Chain A
Amino acid sequence: MSIKQRLGEKTILRGTLKSVLPFLFLLLLAACSTLQPVHLPDLTALDAVDDHQAGQLLQRCSKNFVTGSWQFVHSIAFKRGDGGGATVIGVTVLDGQKLHCALMTVEGLVLFEAELAQEKLTVSRALPPFDKPEFARGLIRDVQAIFLPPAGEEPKAGRLAGGELVCRYQADNGQITDLLIDEKGSRMNIYDPDLNRSRSIVAGSPITVAAERVPETLELTASGLSAYTLTMTLISADKI
């Protein structure tokens, strides 16, 4: 190969790189932006502006969670950040004191079963790949976040910079939960003690069961390096 030919190839290569680099840069930027943590937004308290509006909002927020004893059955599509995943059927039983959950295949084989009572987690069945302790803790944390009111004192009513009305709950451990409600459903954003968003839960298509509001669809998105999404569709809801 002559020097001229080599120089020609280098020029082509340089030209190709020149045209591709901006796209690579954009791709890198996009990839980085998905890993960028979302921080807790500022909240303007409503109490000082409109006590009545704040009271109404707090009441609506409290009705976002069922009371008493319930049993829910959902289909759950689990999707990992890398695209993998599976669909299972989930059973959740709440009675005010205990939280019981089970995961089974569509074919009916129970893969995982656990109970949380007085902050003690008891796993009665866990088949691979659901037999790791961190899975049990993570699952219970997600189930608590979906079905139970956030821990902490009475929430504060407020308005975000975009104008959305929010109930803000702060737990003793520093975790903060923002709850936004409208006619179509609700959205919960959960922030870790470092004030970065760790979970989002969108509840949609609410129906009335035993005079309480129950969402037909739920989508939990966990952020971070081990990101995943749970898309839950209600199969049955029973007040027991």
Chain B
Amino acid sequence: MRSLVVVLFLAAGLGFLSPARAQDVAGQPPVRVDSVQAEFTQEKHLPILVRPIISRGTFVFQAPASLRWEYLSPVHSVLLMDDGRTRKFIERNDQFVEEQGMGMDSMAIVLQEITGWLDGHITDTPTFKAKVQEGGLIVLTPKEAALARIISRIELRLAGQSGLMESVTLYEGPDSLTKLIFSHGVLNEKIPAATFMKP
């Protein structure tokens, strides 16, 4: 379950933490990322689905390690990471309920992963091997077989020179993938601390 949680958070983290590092990998001057806010649309594709499951939400990140990852539909959930503590909330009957379990005890590891992204480069991550391709595409493949069984690769597509990410696609198998498409990205604006403290 630890690796699963790492993947989940990496998938989230890649969307906003990696642009600066990705451009670094691509040989371009890195963009300093102090904060990122963006909306996203998530497409879940599975062979058994006649049409993808569409989710919508928002990302808010503040360096060094504060995150608000909110799904507005179809299930309203908020994942908060602040001051080394990670919590997940689900809305039920118009109230947010904190969810325990599902690997929520492994958040210290996750935080380390994300902090690693801030302090280093994509090529330096202990979890993934990065390969830069044409057109601003970066392909990450897991270094460990255990993680590769859960996720075969991640593709990051940069949004030009803006320091923002256009999309993140997480492949679980040949026809099973999750694609996050980002829009309305705002870089380095001040974000109230309360954003990361409560749903």
Inter-subunit contact A109/B77 (CB<8 Å): no
Inter-subunit contact B74/A105 (CB<8 Å): no
| Distance in Å: Cβ of B7 to nearest Cβ of chain A | 7
A193 at the B interface (CB under 8 A): no
Inter-subunit contact B46/A102 (CB<8 Å): yes
Most interface-central of B8, B75, B150, B170 (chain A CB within 10 A):
B75
B4 at the A interface (CB under 8 A): yes
Residue of A nearest to B69 (CB): A107
A89 at the B interface (CB under 8 A): yes
Q: With A108-B178, A109-B7, A109-B178 as given contacts, are A75 and B75 in contact (CB-CB < 8 Å)?
A: yes
CA distance A84 to B46 in the complex (A): 29
- Between A and B, how many residue pairs show CB distances below 8 Å? 79
Q: With A71-B50, A107-B11, A240-B50 as given contacts, are A87 and B4 in contact (CB-CB < 8 Å)?
A: no
B12 at the A interface (CB under 8 A): yes
A66 at the B interface (CB under 8 A): no
B191 at the A interface (CB under 8 A): no
Most interface-central of A71, A87, A102, A107 (chain B CB within 10 A):
A107
| Distance in Å: Cβ of B62 to nearest Cβ of chain A | 20
Q: With A86-B101, A87-B77 as given contacts, are A107 and B50 in contact (CB-CB < 8 Å)?
A: no
| Distance in Å: Cβ of A126 to nearest Cβ of chain B | 11
How large, as a class, is the contact surface on chain A?
Answer: 20 to 34
B1 at the A interface (CB under 8 A): yes
A110 at the B interface (CB under 8 A): yes
B183 at the A interface (CB under 8 A): no
Residue of B nearest to A86 (CB): B102
Chain B positions 24 through 61: 1 when the CB is less than 8 Å from some CB of chain A, otherwise 0: 00000000000000000010101011110101000000
| Distance in Å: Cβ of A82 to nearest Cβ of chain B | 11
A28 at the B interface (CB under 8 A): no
Inter-subunit contact A127/B4 (CB<8 Å): yes
B162 at the A interface (CB under 8 A): no
| Distance in Å: Cβ of B59 to nearest Cβ of chain A | 12
Inter-subunit contact B90/A87 (CB<8 Å): yes
Residue of B nearest to A111 (CB): B4
B95 at the A interface (CB under 8 A): no
Inter-subunit contact B172/A93 (CB<8 Å): no
Inter-subunit contact B49/A71 (CB<8 Å): yes
Residue of B nearest to A71 (CB): B50
B196 at the A interface (CB under 8 A): no
Residue of A nearest to B2 (CB): A128
CA distance A127 to B77 in the complex (A): 22
Inter-subunit contact A238/B50 (CB<8 Å): yes
Q: With A100-B48, A106-B77, A108-B44 as given contacts, are A89 and B150 in contact (CB-CB < 8 Å)?
A: no
| Distance in Å: Cβ of B140 to nearest Cβ of chain A | 16
Chain B positions 61 through 86: 1 when the CB is less than 8 Å from some CB of chain A, otherwise 0: 00000000001001101000000000
Q: List 14 A-B contacts (CB under 8 A).
A: A77-B92, A86-B102, A105-B102, A106-B90, A107-B8, A107-B42, A107-B178, A108-B44, A110-B46, A111-B4, A127-B1, A127-B150, A128-B1, A235-B53
List 13 additional A-B contacts (Cβ < 8 Å) besides A93-B48, A128-B1: A71-B49, A73-B49, A75-B74, A102-B46, A106-B55, A109-B7, A109-B178, A110-B46, A110-B176, A111-B4, A127-B150, A236-B53, A240-B50
The 9 closest A-B pairs by CB, nearest first: A108-B178, A235-B74, A108-B44, A75-B75, A87-B90, A86-B102, A106-B77, A106-B75, A128-B1
- Interface residues of A, Cβ cutoff 8 Å to B: 71, 73, 75, 77, 84-87, 89, 91, 93, 100, 102, 104-111, 113, 125, 127-129, 235-236, 238, 240
